[in-house]
């Protein structure tokens, strides 16, 4: 199915930026002062003078955005844009940086069967003459940029720039169960220089910590969530292990190795990977993935899927990703996807040329096993086994 393919990589011709200029961001105090919120914040955070010495992995100042688990392939939630609000379902995608939704300007088939934003019905909409063009691993869109109020996770994000699609060619977005995409990667890869939603939230002092967390449920269960501004330790076991980013563009990290039964099967000598909620599978260079498919006994079936015997789930060993010296095992029950009586590989080959060598994409197959914190303040990712 086409939506099993990559969603996360924005504008492959524009995107993979590795030398990113650092932009000094406003502090929380500055943001709160400019928005008249500093006094209230200090009053609610000064009850215990020793609180700064306590672990902050359980926070109360977070805003939770529930996500729907669609067949373990996509995770999307509902946002609203405009005054009065117009509702849209969007992928919360850490592999891209733009917010866009279909609009009444669009006549592509993919727009006609999804919710479309009508700027004439919003009293707070502000148009621009800027255009927008994004190509994903699968699917693309073009459109125009505008400003309006966006409601996400109970947060009212004013003066948010977003894309109104004018074209959505091809069949991928037509069949997608969501309307648009809300990107959560860095501003450096935002098409047309648009400020991402989370950056705008932080700049307005709407979240108490410059980070967000993601829990993705398994087996189509409910409970998936994006937590803006907080971490909830009830979603994971043990401690968070922090990994510094190797590039502040995507949420990109260095993987030490990928092994099975203690032997390297890919990423020998290290490789780069991005942690991407908008990619369903776990992707890597085609040659390396072909080797993994061979190891797990996957072969292409009549539908073009990499089929695996369902009995293999009980017999195959873990595939272990070692990151910053910590092992992150994926059991066969995670990397083999079971739908009724059909089992398929959760790995997918894709070659992305980069200046730093082969690139892997740790998509939903990986994130379902590991609660993930995306820490903008410290440019790092936190990982811990899901509870």
Reported as a pLDDT band with limits 50, 70 and 90, residue 356 is: confident
In a domain, 15, yes or no: no
Examine the domain organization and report whether 196 and 241 are in the same domain.
no
Tell me if 167 sits within 8 A of 144, measured CB to CB: no
In a domain, 18, yes or no: no
**Mean pLDDT lowest for which of 19-33, 45-59, 222-236?**
45-59
CA distance 139 to 89: 17
pLDDT of residue 355: 72
CA distance 364 to 118: 32
Which of 185, 208, 228 delimits the end of a domain?
228
The dihedral through the CA atoms of 234, 67, 93, 351 has a sign that is positive
CA distance 116 to 45: 41
Q: Within 10 Å of residue 100's Cβ, how many Cβ atoms?
A: 28
CA atoms within 13 A on the CB side of 88: 30
Which of 228, 248, 282 delimits the end of a domain?
228
Reported as a pLDDT band with limits 50, 70 and 90, residue 198 is: very high
**290-331: pLDDT as tens digits:** 999 999 999 999 888 999 999 999 999 999 999 999 999 999
Catalytic residue IDs: 93, 276
3-state helix, strand, coil in the chain (%, to 5): 20, 40, 45
- pTM listed for this prediction: 0.85
Reported as a pLDDT band with limits 50, 70 and 90, residue 11 is: very low
Domain that includes residue 63, residue range: 2-10+23-228
- The DSSP bridge pattern shows strands 282-284 and 380-385 to be unpaired
Helices (H), 94-238: 109-112, 172-175, 197-203
CA distance 212 to 203: 15
**63-109: pLDDT as tens digits:** 999 999 999 999 999 999 999 999 999 999 999 999 999 999 999 99
Examine the domain organization and report whether 97 and 167 are in the same domain.
yes
Residue partners of 42: CB distance under 8 A and separation at least 6: none
Q: Is the pLDDT of residue 35 over 60?
A: no
Q: Within 10 Å of residue 200's Cβ, how many Cβ atoms?
A: 19
Indicate left, alpha or beta for 211 from its phi (over 0: left) and psi (-120 to 50: alpha). Answer: beta
Domain of residue 356, CATH code: 2.40.70.10
- Which residue(s) pair with 31 in the sheet? none
Which of 163, 197, 228 delimits the end of a domain?
228
Examine the domain organization and report whether 84 and 214 are in the same domain.
yes
Indicate left, alpha or beta for 27 from its phi (over 0: left) and psi (-120 to 50: alpha). Answer: beta
Residue partners of 61: CB distance under 8 A and separation at least 6: 207, 208, 209, 229, 230
- Which residue(s) pair with 66 in the sheet? 225
């Amino acid at each position: 199915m086409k939506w099993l393919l990559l969603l996360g990589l924005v504008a492959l011709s524009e995107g993979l930026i590795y030398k990113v200029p650092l932009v000094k961001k406003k502090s929380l105090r500055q943001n709160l002062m400019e928005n008249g919120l500093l006094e209230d914040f200090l009053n609610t955070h000064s009850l215990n003078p020793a609180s700064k010495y306590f672990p902050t992995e359980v926070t109360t100042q977070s805003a939770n955005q529930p996500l729907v688990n669609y067949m373990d392939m996509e995770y999307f939630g509902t946002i609203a844009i405009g005054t009065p609000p117009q509702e849209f379902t969007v992928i919360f995608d850490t592999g891209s940086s733009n917010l866009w939704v279909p609009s009444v300007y669009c006549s592509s088939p993919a727009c006609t069967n999804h919710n479309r934003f009508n700027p004439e019905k919003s009293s707070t909409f502000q148009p621009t003459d800027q255009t927008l063009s994004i190509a994903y691993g699968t699917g693309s869109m073009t459109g125009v940029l505008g400003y309006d109020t966006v409601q996400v996770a109970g947060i009212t994000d004013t003066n948010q720039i977003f894309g109104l699609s004018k074209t959505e060619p091809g069949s991928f977005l037509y069949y997608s169960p969501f309307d648009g995409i809300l990107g959560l990667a860095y501003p450096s890869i935002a098409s047309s220089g648009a400020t991402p939603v989370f950056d705008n939230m932080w700049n307005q002092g709407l979240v108490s910590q410059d980070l967000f967390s993601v829990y993705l449920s398994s087996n189509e269960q409910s409970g998936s969530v994006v937590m803006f501004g907080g971490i909830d330790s009830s979603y994971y076991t043990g401690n968070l292990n922090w990994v510094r980013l190797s590039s502040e563009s995507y949420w990109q990290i260095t993987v030490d190795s990928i092994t099975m039964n203690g032997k390297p099967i890919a990423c020998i000598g290290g490789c780069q990977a991005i942690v991407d909620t908008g990619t369903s599978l776990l992707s890597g260079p085609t040659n390396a993935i072909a080797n993994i498919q061979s190891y797990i006994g996957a072969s292409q079936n009549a539908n073009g899927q990499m089929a695996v015997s369902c009995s293999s789930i009980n017999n195959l060993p873990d595939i272990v990703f070692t990151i910053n010296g910590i092992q992150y095992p994926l059991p066969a029950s995670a990397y083999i996807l079971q739908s009724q009586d059909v089992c398929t590989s959760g790995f997918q080959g894709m070659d992305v040329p980069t200046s730093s060598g082969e690139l892997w994409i740790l998509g939903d197959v990986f994130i379902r096993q590991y609660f993930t914190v995306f820490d903008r303040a410290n440019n790092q990712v936190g990982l811990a086994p899901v509870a």
